[in-house]
């Protein structure tokens, strides 16, 4: 009887996940149109000496698209894991080699609050991964830090290179994460924001996991640490 109930539950879950996949595919198609249109506008207006305000708006749209794509990829991956019942991550993620400095420059918000300072690492080295997905991760961490500091404080980003892996750390001068919930920050619905969805850190973890890396958090000061393999 238990076996029959288990099979029925799995079949129901499979039906829901397949429905989600259909929705995600439709959403992917829509995002592709927005992405192409935004790229066209950026290229066309760029030939006419586009002003900084308009360029900034187009870049904000581009970053928003990257976040949505990363969220959908994260959801697709979790659906796949639930369907196969295997705790393994996708190895089909497209990776390239790019400079850490390039990643960080793309991830920093164009307009920072006046009382927020971001210190970047002085060293630079190559990162192996999916550039745009990593932009989503770092952007989320920086934005979370700014929000935690209530738009007033310092964000320090450190980077270290080892023989077979790299480490990127984002530290902020905020009040820290309460001890009773620090182990829940990567849960799908965890958030400290009044208008947040709680998907940012969960999405970041899924992206880092898909790179074969790891992400962790500690207090005093609040530090998010990312570890990525070199290949």
Q: Which of 84, 119, 137 marks a domain boundary?
A: 84
- Cα distance from N-terminal residue to C-terminal residue, the chain: 47
Q: Which of 34, 59, 84 marks a domain boundary?
A: 84
Asked if the structure places residue 89 within a domain, the reply is no
Written as six digits, the tokens of 194 are 């009044």
- Claim to verify: residue 118 and residue 218 sit in the same structural domain: yes
The pLDDT assigned to 191 comes to 54
Q: E strands, the chain, where?
A: 96-99, 116-119, 126-129, 153-161, 165-172, 214-218, 222-229
36: enclosing H helix or E strand = helix 2-46
Q: Which of 84, 113, 132 marks a domain boundary?
A: 84
CB-based burial of residue 112 (10 Å sphere; 0-12 exposed, 13-18 middle, 19+ buried)? middle
- Domains in the chain, number: 2
The pLDDT assigned to 58 comes to 81
CB-based burial of residue 178 (10 Å sphere; 0-12 exposed, 13-18 middle, 19+ buried)? exposed
Model confidence pLDDT, tens digit, residues 129-183: 999 889 989 998 998 899 889 989 999 999 999 999 999 999 999 988 888 888 8
The answer to whether the CB of 157 falls within 8 A of the CB of 121 is yes
Where in the sequence is the domain holding 24, given as residue range(s)? 2-84
- Claim to verify: residue 137 and residue 80 sit in the same structural domain: no
Mean pLDDT score, 84-97: 62
- Claim to verify: residue 158 and residue 225 sit in the same structural domain: yes
The answer to which of 18-22, 122-126, 171-175, 213-217 has the lowest mean pLDDT is 18-22
Asked if the structure places residue 62 within a domain, the reply is yes
Asked if the structure places residue 49 within a domain, the reply is yes
φ and ψ at residue 188, rounded to 5 degrees = -60, -25
Asked if the structure places residue 159 within a domain, the reply is yes
Mean pLDDT score, 174-196: 71
Instruction: Give the integer Cα–Cα distance in Å for 188 and 119.
Output: 29
- Claim to verify: residue 115 and residue 217 sit in the same structural domain: yes
Neighbours of 164 (CB within 10 A): 7
- Claim to verify: residue 151 and residue 210 sit in the same structural domain: yes
- Claim to verify: residue 40 and residue 120 sit in the same structural domain: no
CATH number at residue 118: 3.30.565.10
- Claim to verify: residue 103 and residue 142 sit in the same structural domain: yes
- Claim to verify: residue 171 and residue 221 sit in the same structural domain: yes
Asked whether the whole model's pTM tops 0.85, one would answer no
Asked if the structure places residue 16 within a domain, the reply is yes
């Amino acid at each position: 009887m238990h076996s029959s109930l288990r099979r029925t539950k799995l079949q129901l879950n499979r039906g829901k996940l397949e429905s989600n996949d259909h929705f995600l595919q439709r959403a992917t198609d829509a995002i592709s149109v927005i992405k192409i249109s935004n790229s066209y506008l950026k290229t066309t207006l760029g030939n006419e000496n586009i002003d900084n305000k308009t360029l900034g708006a187009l870049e904000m749209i581009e970053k928003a698209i990257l976040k949505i794509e990363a969220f959908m990829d994260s959801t697709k991956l979790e659906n796949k894991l639930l369907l196969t019942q295997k705790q393994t991550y996708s190895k089909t993620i497209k990776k390239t080699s790019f400079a850490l400095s390039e990643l960080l420059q793309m991830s920093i918000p164009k307009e920072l609050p006046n009382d927020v300072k971001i210190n970047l690492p002085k060293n630079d080295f190559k990162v192996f991964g999916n550039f745009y997905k990593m932009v989503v991760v770092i952007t989320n961490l920086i934005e979370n830090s700014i929000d935690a500091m209530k738009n007033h404080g310092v964000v320090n980003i450190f980077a270290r290179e080892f023989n077979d892996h790299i480490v990127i750390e984002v530290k902020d001068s905020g009040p820290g994460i309460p001890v009773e919930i620090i182990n829940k920050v990567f849960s799908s619905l965890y958030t400290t924001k009044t208008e947040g969805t709680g998907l940012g850190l969960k999405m970041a973890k899924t992206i880092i996991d898909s790179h074969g890396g790891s992400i962790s958090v500690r207090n005093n000061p609040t530090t998010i640490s990312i570890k990525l393999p070199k290949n």
